[in-house]
Amino acid sequence: MKADSLKIARVFANGGDVHYVLPHFQREYAWDKENWQTLLNDVIGLYESYTSDKEPEHFMGALVVINDGTRNGVIPAFKLVDGQQRLTSISLLLCALGQIIENTHASLHKRIRRLLTNPDETDILFYKLVPTKKYGDRDAYLALLKGDEFPEGIDSKIPEAYRFFFKELDNRIKAQAVDPDRLFLVLANSLQVVFIDLDQGERPYEIFESLNAKNKPLTQADLARNYIAMKLPEKRQTDVFEKSWSKIENLLQDKRTVGRSNLGELTGFLRHYLTMRNGVLCNERHVYERFRDRIENETSNVNEFEEEIGTLKKFAEYYDRLLRPEHEPDLGIKTKLRRLNVLEISTAYPFLLQVYEAYGNKSISRAEFEEILDILENYIVRRYLTNEPTNYLNKMFPVLWREINPSKLIESLKRVIVSKKYPSDINVRREVLTEQVYDKRSQTREKIVLILETINRHLSIKNHSGGYTILDKPATIEHIMPQTLSDEWKTHLGKAWEQTYKDYLDTLGNLTLVHRKLSF
């Protein structure tokens, strides 16, 4: 290991050729506005104290790299193990400055481009820094340096960071509060890093994990990705990441959360996948550990390991359909999954993953899949209307599939569900009279709309009316006994109007659906 203090200009080879690539285990560009503002404040502070006789220094932390040989025989190449957030942000600052002064400071623009690119090279070697493909980071950064528009449909933070730096610098330069040439010298010479060059024999994945644990905390999915890279021979990494893992990360992104939890989608998927496999709800803080344990216990060679990652990809596609039913091609299944999503039953996902797998390998029919979803909806709605504790489901769903007889699937599921604290008709009729189900949360309102619409449809069929009223979307929930009582209502309710109001205001029987144009 070698460590040196380097100016940013030297990190970029003082305008010479160099090539930094982020390994597969690196996370996406994750800095946000608070980080960008801090960097900008540091730079402006240095600018204000910078003179021709005095170059202030500001250490930004470490850049940890591992030598990756040369490209085209002469260009030194490095894998960037730690420090990508800093180096990417500085590069975006330089990009913004270069774009602002392109038509007014030709010589300076050329110097900036020389720091950011290898002008005599083509393809990927043209770029000194190559971000990961996650969330479109690479596509966004390369488009920026090529002068193209940012790609549409990406979730990268790079465009937002660039626009932030561009706006802030442009305002200062137009107001003549900042001189571009002097600002460039600050960026190139005053910003410094500790450049740590690892030996080939050192394990970059373990160092990445250790270093990042001290900075922005790694998610459980970050740790799993790092572990996958560590387990794979380097020559197999690109193939596995591009064919399987990157597709998983594109489907399930940790910047989006699952249900009411704060778990990112990818971490949530790994948790529910492991729960499905082990039959016990995986603690959200131990997802990586359980993932690592499964790999160590269930795979004995690289081929089995790659097969497990391929299996993960298949289940990630199922999980994506659970989260976003619009991705399910079958209309009937799609409709029923949407209804279950309204009921917020992410605890059932381990069970539903197994149902999806059975459907995928044709062990169950489409009709059986739909009936399973109907049975689950019935169970969840009954428990909701009787205010049964939801924590029981955390133990019930992980083992539910194992308790079903596959040769008599539907009959067996109904029998098992009834044994799982299933509210009877008598209990539902009793509790629904007094259970306060309404509150102002949008999720609660969606559940009530679903339940009332289903009752409306059921009564229409039962009474042979030939149809039922289809209300506007979103339908409006109205209280029959109003939330604010008039004197007439108080008189109508009688002397005990206060108790009656308290007991029945937010019960299901006091709620109805109306067209929005009729609500008042």
Whose CA is closest to 112, among 193, 184, 19, 183?
184
Q: Are 504 and 466 in contact (CB under 8 A)?
A: no
- Is the pTM of the predicted complex or chain greater than 0.85? no
Whose CA is closest to 136, among 157, 164, 161, 166?
157
The rounded percent of the chain whose pLDDT value lies above 70 is: 92
17: phi then psi, degrees, rounded to nearest 5: -90, 140
Please, which pLDDT band fits residue 238 given cuts at 50, 70 and 90?
Answer: confident
Residue that is written with structure tokens 């799993």 in the block: 224
Distance separating alpha carbons of residues 228 and 275, to the nearest angstrom: 19
Please, which pLDDT band fits residue 214 given cuts at 50, 70 and 90?
Answer: very low
pLDDT the model gives residue 212: 52
Question: Average pLDDT, stretch 317-325?
Answer: 97
Is it the case that residue 207 has pLDDT exceeding 90?
no
